[in-house]
Structure 1
Amino acid sequence: TGKVEITSQNHGFVVVPESLPDSAQVTHVSLFDGSNEGLALGDRPVFSVQYHPEASPGPSDSHYLFKRFVDMIAATHAKAKAS
């Protein structure tokens, strides 16, 4: 997206992109050290970030992650209810 987020993080481990299945996409990369900070699976309703989105320094920096999560749960619930 070309967007940059300032995040609160403190971890000693990272997911090595080469270890991910083909269906996985790296979605966030640290500009500090190039480490993987987020991923999503293309074949399942799964995504993650390896930082603390709830600690965003701006008023709505990471709201898109929470919205994405709620939307994903609602879609999964609707799909299950329809079957």
Structure 2
Amino acid sequence: VKDIITGRVHITAQNHGYAVDADSLPRDVEVTHVNLNDGTVEGMRHKGLPIIGIQYHSEASPGPRDNEYMFDRFLEMVDATK
């Protein structure tokens, strides 16, 4: 999975029982992560509200804390709304 914002690529676990169609997203939601194998949407965020979503198993920092940054982003959004 590639993080479009940072350019970093992460090895993830996935279960694609469904996928988000990027063309169906409203203008105020942007794709943030893509699957490099099949091009599907793996993450998105709202441009104006503190809303993010990912479509892969971020686990809780597998390996050398690969996806811990997603939890950090979420907590930063929570802190900003206090």
TM over 0.5: yes
Other-structure match for 1:2: 7
- Supply the RMSD in Å over aligned alpha carbons: 1.2
Cα displacement (A) at 1:58: 1.9
Percent identity between the aligned chains? Answer: 52
Segments of structure 2 that go 5 or more residues without pairing to the other structure are 1-5
Aligned to 1:81: none
Deviation at 1:55, TM superposition (A): 5.6
Q: Which has the larger radius of gyration?
A: 1
**Which ranges in structure 1 are unaligned for 5 or more consecutive residues?**
78-83
Q: Any conservation in 1 of the 2:34–2:40 contact (CA below 8 Å)?
A: yes
Q: Residue type of the partner of 2:9?
A: V
Matches within 5 A, 1:1-83: 1-54=6-59, 57-77=62-82
TM superposition shift of 1:57 = 3.9
Asked if structure 1 preserves the Cα contact closer than 8 Å seen for 2:30 and 2:44, the reply is yes
User: SS where residue 69 of structure 1 aligns?
Assistant: helix
